[in-house]
């Protein structure tokens, strides 16, 4: 009974942290106070559960390899000290603390196989609800069919967003759901039919969202899976095969760059990725105004026309001002500066190496999940800002890293 309750609790929080429904409850809405209370209550429940499992939690967190992750969190938590908007930054750091606490609990309480199953259940539910919202409640589930909050709602009228506030969030979550349901297909054979249905529905919802970036990066990630499986071969076979795969990948990438203009034009996009590449240089100029510690966690975009972001917004037509960098790396660089982004890349590299070793040392389907997730996560952040954010991607990043430590403790020493 206790285990089942914890599973339900985890599914609910994963659903919430994926951004589902909460975007439709802005500040001032009659149920906004309940949303905030629920978030706080969930955090305290998470803390209680961590205390119950404190030995396992400390053991995993105290691993020397996690020092870089801890340094990232410390920088985020103290960033209100140099932020121009300390109150808003403190609220963002509090949200990050809540999400990270849950990620640690998720890794402590469930092994990687159980995590993938719970994630698959959650994303299956999100896909079903998103379909129902788009069909039965189009004023919420379809862009431009209900309330119009900005110019994008007009531009993207008719695109599906389901239970998410933006079509890109639907598309990105569905792409992640496709990956998770694919893995759970092999992890839980008794749920094969359900996973096939969820997989197909996630594909349908991704297409209806017209989120090109998520679709392209998903396809690229999936094509790498055979090469990741090759990691499990003996070293004398794995190295040549990986060398060949890099040559093939480099050739495909070069060909993709050459054909990029025609490809994007066929999808209704331009070569500047809907203007992103035009304002990335402007953001990099702002980075070098505060190069070391940045502007404070999620503080750069807070000031609006009276803040630092005004220097970028003045290049855009009214109503088209970008709310974030549309690049997770630049976004986090603005937040925490060169020191923070450097520490993050060190942690990311260590996690990639750990994921490769984990894939080689295991034979189960979930053994390939961490490296597959890392690939998709690092790619999607080239055009979106999902890197170090209090959301589902950060939960999976932290929990999968800690879960690999847990698995090594049980069966592998590296």
Would you give per-residue pLDDT tens digits along the chain (414 residues)? 667 899 999 999 999 999 998 877 777 777 778 888 888 999 999 999 999 999 989 988 888 888 999 999 999 999 999 999 999 999 999 999 999 999 999 999 999 999 999 999 999 999 999 999 999 999 899 987 766 556 566 666 889 999 998 899 999 999 999 999 999 999 988 888 999 999 999 999 999 998 888 988 898 888 888 888 877 766 555 555 554 555 555 444 444 444 444 444 454 554 445 566 678 888 999 999 999 999 999 999 988 888 888 888 888 777 777 888 889 999 999 999 999 999 999 999 999 999 988 998 888 889 999 999 999 999 999 889 999 999 999 999 999 999 987 665 555 443
Q: With both helix axes pointing from N to C terminus, report the angle between 167-187 and 369-380 in degrees, rounded to the nearest 10.
A: 170
In the prediction, which pLDDT does 370 show?
A: 95
Q: If DSSP codes are grouped into helix, strand and coil, which group holds residue 272?
A: coil
| Dihedral (CA of 95, 101, 105, 107) sign | positive
Of the candidates 360, 332, 337, the one whose C-alpha atom is nearest the C-alpha of residue 290 is 337
CB 66 within 8 A of CB 400: no
Please check whether residue 183 is in contact with residue 365, taking contact to mean a CB–CB distance below 8 angstroms. Answer: yes
DSSP designation for 297: T
Q: How many CB atoms lie within 10 A of CB 42?
A: 18
3-class SS at 381?
coil
CB atoms within 10 A of CB 50: 19
Q: Do residues 350 and 310 touch, judged by C-beta distance below 8 A?
A: no
What is the distance between the alpha carbons of residues 161 and 166, in angstroms, rounded to a whole number?
A: 6
Please compute Rg for the chain using Cα positions. 21
Q: Residues, the chain, total?
A: 414
Cβ atoms of 39 and 98 within 8 Å: the answer is yes
Tokens at residue 6, please?
A: 């914890």
Could you report the per-residue pLDDT of 93-105, keeping only the tens digit for each? 999 999 999 999 9
Cβ–Cβ under 8 Å, residues 206 and 160 = no
pTM of structure = 0.91
Q: How far is CA 393 from its chain centroid?
A: 3
Distance CA 323, CA 301 (A): 7
Diameter over CA atoms, the chain: 63
What gap in Å lies between CA 51 and CA 73, rounded to an integer?
Answer: 20
| Closest CA relative to residue 212, chosen from 142, 266, 164 | 266
- The pLDDT tens digits for 229-255 are 877 766 555 555 554 555 555 444 444
Tokens representing 259?
């054909």
Instruction: Report the interhelical angle of 32-52 vs 86-109 (nearest 10°).
Output: 50
* Helix residue spans in 53-85 (DSSP H): 54-61, 67-78
Matching residue, tokens 């309480």: 109
Could you give the CA distance from residue 386 to residue 373 in angstroms, rounded to a whole number? 13
Residue found by looking up tokens 């999968």 in the block: 400
pLDDT at 37: 87
Residues in Cβ contact with 49 at an 8 Å cutoff, skipping those fewer than 6 apart = 6, 105, 109
pLDDT value of residue 248: 53
Report how far apart, in Å, the C-alpha atoms of 271 and of each of 30, 236, 274 are: 43, 41, 8
Candidates 140, 106, 216, 112; CA nearest to 171 is: 216
Residue 173: CB partners within 8 Å, gap ≥ 6? Answer: 18, 19, 20, 123, 126, 164, 392
Map tokens 């760059």 to a residue: 257
User: What dihedral do alpha carbons 296, 298, 300, 303 form, nearest 10°?
Assistant: -110
Nearest to 358 by CA among 304, 412, 298, 310: 412
- CA 258 to CA 251: how far, in whole Å? 11
Which pLDDT belongs to residue 151?
Answer: 59
Instruction: Give the C-alpha separation, 52 to 344, whole Å.
Output: 30
């Amino acid at each position: 009974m206790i285990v089942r309750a914890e599973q339900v609790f985890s599914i609910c929080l994963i659903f919430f942290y994926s951004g589902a429904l909460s975007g439709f409850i802005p500040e001032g809405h009659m149920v906004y106070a309940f949303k905030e209370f629920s978030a706080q209550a969930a955090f305290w429940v998470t803390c209680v559960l961590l205390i119950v499992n404190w030995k396992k939690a400390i053991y995993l967190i105290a691993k020397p390899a996690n020092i870089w992750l801890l340094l990232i969190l410390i920088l985020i938590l103290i960033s209100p000290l140099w932020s121009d908007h300390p109150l808003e930054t403190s609220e963002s750091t509090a949200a990050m603390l809540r999400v990270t606490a849950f990620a640690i609990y998720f890794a402590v309480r469930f092994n990687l196989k159980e995590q993938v199953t719970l994630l698959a259940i959650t994303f299956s539910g999100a896909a079903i609800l998103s379909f129902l919202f788009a069909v039965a409640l189009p004023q919420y589930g379809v862009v431009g069919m209900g309330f119009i909050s900005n110019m994008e709602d007009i531009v993207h009228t008719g695109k599906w967003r389901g239970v998410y506030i933006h079509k890109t969030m639907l598309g990105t979550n569905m792409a992640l759901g496709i990956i998770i349901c694919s893995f759970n297909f092999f992890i839980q054979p008794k749920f094969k039919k359900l996973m096939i249905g969820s997989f197909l529905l996630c594909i349908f919802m991704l297409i209806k969202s017209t989120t090109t970036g998520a679709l392209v990066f998903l396809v690229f990630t999936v094509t790498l899976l055979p090469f990741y499986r090759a990691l499990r071969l003996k070293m004398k076979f794995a190295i040549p095969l990986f060398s060949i795969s890099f040559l093939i990948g480099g050739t495909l990438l070069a060909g993709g760059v050459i054909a990029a203009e025609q490809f994007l034009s066929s999808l209704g996009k331009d070569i500047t990725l809907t203007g992103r590449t035009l304002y990335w240089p402007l953001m990099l100029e702002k980075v070098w105004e505060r190069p070391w510690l940045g502007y404070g966690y999620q503080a750069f975009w807070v000031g609006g026309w009276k803040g630092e972001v005004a220097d970028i917004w003045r290049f855009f037509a009214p109503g088209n001002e970008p709310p974030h960098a549309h690049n997770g790396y630049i976004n986090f660089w603005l937040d925490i500066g060169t020191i923070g982004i450097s520490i993050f890349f060190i942690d990311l590299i260590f996690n990639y190496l750990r994921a490769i070793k984990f894939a080689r040392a295991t034979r189960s389907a979930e053994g390939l999940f961490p490296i597959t997730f890392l690939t998709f996560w690092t790619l999607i952040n080239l055009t979106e800002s999902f890197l170090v954010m209090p959301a589902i991607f950060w939960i999976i990043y932290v929990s999968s890293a800690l879960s690999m430590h847990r698995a090594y403790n049980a069966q592998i020493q590296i």
